[in-house]
Amino acid sequence: MPRRGGRKTGTRDVAPPLPRAVLRADWRRDTYHWLLTMRWSALLAALVVSFVLLNLAFAGLYLLQTGSIVNARPGSLLDAFFFSVQTTATIGYGDMRPGTLFANFIVTGEVLVGMVCLAMATGLVFARFSRPTARVLFSNVAVVTPHDGVPTFMFRAANQRRNRILEAQVSVSLLRDEVSVEGVPMRRFHDLHVARARTPMFALSWTVMHPINEASPLYGENRESLIARNAEIVIGVVGIDETVSQTIHARHFYLADEILWNRRFVDILNELEGGQRSIDYRRFHDTVEAHAAAPRRMKA
């Protein structure tokens, strides 16, 4: 089943983007958010281009009056550009300096503009570095397997950092195509209630389970019916990072063909000598047939 425009990442936690026709006219109204969410390479390129254009503009102003820059070659755009760079950065090497009242006015305005631009660029870069992010690993697939005699939808999540996510909560929703009583086609969300939606301390792994009983929106569904209705399972994890004491979010989604039926996850919890336990993340995404021997333990 082809993906509908989703951007694939290491954990594919980015939902499919909205059509460009919807977003193209909106970024100018929310430039700050656009700059915060663009790629680092694009942001750095934008800062470099803006810096060069700003100094070229002021270099052109200096060239409006002959002799405005002492020791600069007459009519030299290159000398005027480098003088503008020195002025913006307040370097002041001393070889070139303003030589007229007109040039001093331009220098005054450029220093003011340079301070404002530097403050904006510094704040933007700091905001991107300080923005709290989650490193939550989700299993590549989800499974539907019997658990305590009930078919159960399951997936795995793990905290990839060595700290803890406090008061972590998970939400699971089913998104699929439906037709209303009036015959209107639409996409609808249905909440999937899980056996344990909250954990006071998310440190290692978490197997999230949704029993498929008669009250479940997945009741009576199978792989073919979910594919036919373009179904997706949307996952959201929210909690407090204990290191920075800020709320973090993680998202993931499973397409219908990424849900494996009648399979279960392999046991990754091992007991070492001395009673200590370890988790083998090398098999984090592995599954086996559901009728195989049950694991010794499962961390739910």
Q: Residue 44's closest CA among 126, 125, 123, 118? A: 125
Q: What residue ranges in 105-225 does DSSP mark as E strands? A: 136-138, 142-147, 150-159, 165-179, 185-191, 198-202, 205-211
How far is 2 from 227, CA to CA, in rounded Å? 11
CA–CA distances in Å: residue 83 to residues 53, 67, 101: 14, 13, 16
Q: Which residues pair with 69 in a beta bridge?
A: 98
Q: Which two tokens stand for residue 68?
A: 């405005």
As given in the structure block, the two tokens for residue 229 are 């209705």
Mean pLDDT by runs of 10 across the 300 residues of the chain is 43 48 56 86 93 95 92 91 92 86 93 93 88 88 93 93 90 93 91 92 90 93 93 94 88 94 88 74 89 47
- Tell which CATH architecture fits domain 136-289: Sandwich (2.60)
Burial of 267 (C-beta count, 10 Å sphere; 0-12/13-18/19+): middle
pLDDT given for residue 273 in this prediction? 73
Measured CA to CA, the distance from residue 255 to residue 174 in angstroms comes to 10
User: 3-class SS at 137?
Assistant: strand
Q: CB neighbours of 187 closer than 8 A, spacing ≥ 6?
A: 175, 176, 177, 178
Domain residue limits, the chain: 22-130, 136-289
Q: How far apart are the C-alpha atoms of 27 and 255, rounded to whole Å?
A: 29
For residue 7, what is the DSSP state? Answer: P
22-130: what fold?
A: Helix Hairpins (1.10.287)
pTM for the whole thing?
A: 0.69
How many CA atoms within 13 Å lie on the side-chain side of 193?
5
CB contact at 8 A, 114 and 87: yes
Tell me, yes or no, if the two domains 22-130 and 136-289 fold the same way.
no
- Give exposure, 274-293, as e/b (b: 16+ Cβ within 10 Å): eeeeeeeeeebeebeebeee
